[in-house]
Amino acid sequence: MKSLIVKKFGGASVGSIRKIESIAQRLSEDRKRGEQPLVVLSAMSGYTDSLIQMAHKVHPHFQGEAYDMLVSSGEQISISLLSLALEKRGLKNKPLLAHQAGIQTSALFSKAHIESIQIEKVKALLKKKVMPLIAGFQGVTKQNEITTLGRGGSDLTAVALSSALKVKTCEIYTDVPGVFTADPRLVPKAKKQKSLSFSEMMEMSYLGSKVLQIRSVEMALKYDVKLHVRHAFKKEEGTWIINKKEGGMEGSVVSAIAHDLNTLVIKFNKTPSGVNFLSDLFTELGKEAVFVDIISQSAIGAPSRLSFSIPKTDLKKSLSVLKKLKVEKNISVINKVAKISVIGVGMASHSGVAGRFFSVIKKTKARLYLVTTSEIKISTVIDEKSLKKTARALHKEFNLY
């Protein structure tokens, strides 16, 4: 099966019947060119969200089998519709739900992990030149209960299938032409990148890019599957996510700028002293599944100053933790902020990146709330108003045009 390629279509690329027809047309042309596609599909865009809304209406916050059974129905609909569209074009195909494809997961509902895939069934279909259409995002436990893999889980399904089939490339089709140096809505001069390393892509996913789910990039790295992110309805190549040598093969220090508006800062006006408080605070926030992002504490002088950032969507849960710890009157919530980051494997071997970064911040007069760095990124929370000009200035500073 030399020409076997795993192709995942997601997001807005399966957003309507017309688009599903276009996917069928593309697959039919792929077939004529000698490719043998194995297709993984997401739900039609918006559909899963409307199911989630229904679930929340009936029983807010419930997690378990019923919820996963409900939200997994979206992929069932998209693979059946694509199957009909392929039938119409005379292409032999077989729609497969997770229980039919043998995608077995842990019993952690709504964020299950794929444990194994009984790949023989899919292999048998491929051997007979039948195109498998696999429902992404879903799995079954050993007890045959339906699970889902969390947001963006269809990417994970695609990578897991590529790995199980020992296929070296997995194509991720979406409604954008690839991964850009920055969000073009923010930086109009942003350009499509030819390639990114796995670690750069992971940082980008973590730092706000919505193109790929971070777990799927991790998994691709682990099993050495190249990802090709490309536009579902255009022929041109997209962006390759590959195993690049650290140090910037292409000579660029910074590869991309990422931003995230779903963030806010909680700042302590007066931090309760003692290491016990910090331990209690972050343990309790963890229990409530609050995603604490950047933490900053300056221990210089007393009282010490603590701030941390969380997604805007976790504010309610955080406030109830702070209330429980009786410090809710001691804090300020800073809402109108944004996270902006520069990412690049080249940073590890180039000094002076931080200096260039902060002189841009100085020039744009952005108000800086939090900073964190790693070998391949610098990430800051700044005031929302300064986001656009800072993004553009950073883009220019690091020659991303």
Q: Residue 296: enclosing H or E segment and its boundaries?
A: strand 295-298
- Per 3-state DSSP, the chain is made up of helix, strand and coil in percentages (nearest 5) of 40, 25, 35
Per CB under 8 A, does 91 bind a copy of itself?
Answer: no
H or E element: which one contains 39? strand 36-41
φ, ψ of residue 372 to 5 degrees: the values are: -145, 150
Site for a copy of itself in 244-303 (CB under 8 A): none
Please select the residue that binds a copy of itself; options are 83, 197, 239, 271, rule is CB under 8 A.
83
Among 32, 33, 57, 245, binds a copy of itself (CB under 8 A): 57
100 binds a copy of itself (CB under 8 A): yes
Closest approach, Cβ 258 to a copy of itself, in A, equals 36
69 forms part of the interface with a copy of itself (CB under 8 A): yes
C-alpha dihedral sign at 388, 352, 368, 212:
positive
- Return the structure tokens found at 309: 């950032």
Structure tokens at 104: 């077995």
Min dist CB 146 to a copy of itself, Å, is 8
Minimum gap (Å) between residue 66 Cβ and a copy of itself: 4
Nearer to a copy of itself, 70 or 319 (CB): 70
Among 87, 224, 328, 375, binds a copy of itself (CB under 8 A): 87
How does DSSP assign 70-120, residue by residue? HHTHHHHHHHHHHHHHHHHTT--EEEE-HHHHTEEE-S-TTS--EEEE-TH
Stretch touching a copy of itself by CB under 8 A, among 4-12, 48-56, 167-175, 303-311: 48-56
* Interface residue with a copy of itself, options 5, 14, 41, 79 (CB under 8 A): 79
How far, CA to CA in Å, does 178 sit from each of 5, 173, 202, 236, 354?
18, 9, 15, 10, 27
Distance, CA of 330 to CA of 328 (rounded, Å): 5
Nearer to a copy of itself, 100 or 320 (CB): 100
Residues contacting a copy of itself: total by CB under 8 A: 35
- Which residues in the 123-182 window bind a copy of itself by CB under 8 A? 144-146
3-state SS record for 344-356: CHHHHHCCCHHHH
Which range, of 2-10, 84-92, 305-313, 317-325, touches a copy of itself by CB under 8 A?
A: 84-92
Residue of 12, 35, 99, 348 interacting with a copy of itself (CB under 8 A) = 99
The answer to whether the CB of 186 falls within 8 A of the CB of 242 is no
46 binding a copy of itself? (CB under 8 A): no
Q: What is the DSSP string of 331-376?
A: EEEE-SEEEEEEE-GGGGG-TTHHHHHHHHHHHHTPPEEEEEEETT
Residue 214 touching a copy of itself (CB under 8 A): no
Q: In whole angstroms, how close is the CB of 289 to a copy of itself at the nearest point?
A: 19
Task: Work out how close the CB of 21 gets to a copy of itself at its nearest, in angstroms, rounded to a whole number.
Answer: 7
Residues 94, 3: Cα–Cα separation, whole Å: 19
Match 């071997």 to its residue by tokens. Answer: 349
Instruction: Name the one range near a copy of itself by CB under 8 A: 50-58, 150-158, 244-252, 361-369.
Output: 50-58
Name the segment binding a copy of itself (CB under 8 A); options: 93-101, 172-180, 295-303, 336-344: 93-101
Cβ neighbours of residue 388 under 8 Å, at least 6 residues apart?
Answer: 186
- Tokens 């969390």: give the residue: 150
**Is the Cβ of residue 58 or residue 368 nearer to a copy of itself in the bound state?**
58
Report if residue 85 touches a copy of itself, rule: CB under 8 A. yes
* Sheet containing strand 195-197, strands side by side: 93-96, 131-135, 36-41, 4-9, 169-174, 226-231, 239-242, 195-197
Between 27 and 179, name the residue whose CB sits nearer to a copy of itself: 27
- In the complex, the residues that contact a copy of itself under the rule CB under 8 A are 17, 20-21, 51, 54-55, 57-59, 62, 64-67, 69-70, 73, 76-77, 79-81, 83-85, 87-88, 94-95, 97, 99-100, 144-146
